[in-house]
Amino acid sequence: MVRGVRRHNGSLSAFVDGRGAADVKEPNVTDRPVPTGKADRDYLAAVTVGGPQPVSRIVVVDYDPQWPGLFQALASSIRAALGGAVLGLEHVGSTSVPGLAAKPKIDIDLIVADSSDEDAYVPHLERAGFTLRIREPDWYEHRVLVREDPDVNLHVFSPGAEELKRHLIFRDWLRGNDDDRNLYASVKRRLAEREWEYVADYAEAKNQVVATILTRAGYIRPVGDPS
């Protein structure tokens, strides 16, 4: 997810060497050292409901053509749980890009009137099998709920959150750009070969390539944006 490009401690940008992406000649993103990928531990502890869960390894698999169907089924479940409270639902993240290798976890952006008003949507989603895992009041009032079988990260935002725009720009650019899609896949596969304490560390390690791709897609971060 694009969230790896933001927050924690600003200095955590990362990439890997350019092997396996020879068709992409970008001096600012190749021949970089292997990243440390260390997310801010205090921040993780503060925003994770129940505390961060160690993962050790990240699994990245080939694109699965069933992923769009899984999103549609999940979207139907979310709409059934929330009714008119759903202002928008988008399939985002790597599983939303045909042909892109990804962690087998469906990322969804849900837009509600006020994401800080958890009572308006969290209990209904809990009855549908979701569990609140992330609460970020200082970052667009972002919330994340999770569910298994299939694995899903449900990102909740209020209308106008800048991260919604970033997610769609990143997704749509990768859908239409073979070079950057292949570049991103090669970075993820290489990072997945390493051991990680938390998923957030893996996300931090993708910072530089995500930022580079967003720049090529024409994204300009607004002045004062908290990312």
Query: pLDDT tens-digit profile of 174-188?
Result: 999 999 999 999 999
The secondary element (H helix, E strand) that includes residue 204 is helix 199-205
Q: How much is the pLDDT for 222?
A: 86
Q: How much is the pLDDT for 21?
A: 32
188 inside domain: yes
Q: How much is the pLDDT for 37?
A: 55
All residues at 6 or more sequence positions from 151 whose CB lies less than 8 Å from its CB, including other chains: 104, 105, 106
Which CATH number belongs to the domain containing residue 73 in this structure?
3.30.460.10
Give the number of domains in the chain. 1
All residues at 6 or more sequence positions from 132 whose CB lies less than 8 Å from its CB, including other chains: 49, 118, 122, 126, 143, 144, 145
223 inside domain: no
Tens of pLDDT, residue by residue over 87-126, are 999 999 999 999 999 999 999 999 999 999 999 999 999 9
Sign of CA dihedral 71, 213, 37, 163: negative
Q: How much is the pLDDT for 31?
A: 33
Torsion angle, CA of 143/6/220/25, rounded to 10 degrees? -130
- In this structure, the number of other CB atoms found within 10 A of the CB of residue 30 comes to 16
Q: How much is the pLDDT for 66?
A: 98
Angle at 106 between CA 103 and CA 112, to 5 degrees: 140
- CA separation for the pair 195, 57 (Å, rounded): 5
- CA separation for the pair 77, 128 (Å, rounded): 7
Q: Which two tokens stand for residue 207?
A: 């910072």
Sign of CA dihedral 105, 211, 225, 90: negative
70 inside domain: yes
**Mean local confidence (pLDDT), 20-37:** 37
| Listed residue (56, 43, 50, 57) closest to 12, CA to CA | 43
Contact present, 154 and 111 (Cβ < 8 Å): no
**Mean local confidence (pLDDT), 139-165:** 97
Query: Among residues of the chain, what percentage have pLDDT more than 90?
Result: 77
- CA separation for the pair 101, 217 (Å, rounded): 20
227 inside domain: no
- Give me the sheet containing 142-147, strands edge to edge: 88-92, 106-111, 152-157, 142-147, 131-136
**Mean local confidence (pLDDT), 141-161:** 97
pLDDT band at residue 1 using 50, 70 and 90 as cut-offs: low
222 inside domain: no
Q: How much is the pLDDT for 100?
A: 98
- CA separation for the pair 100, 81 (Å, rounded): 30
Q: Which domain holds residue 184?
A: 2-216
Tens of pLDDT, residue by residue over 58-92, are 999 999 999 999 999 999 999 999 999 999 999 99
224 inside domain: no
The answer on pLDDT for 56 being more than 90 is no
pLDDT band at residue 220 using 50, 70 and 90 as cut-offs: confident
Q: How much is the pLDDT for 4?
A: 38
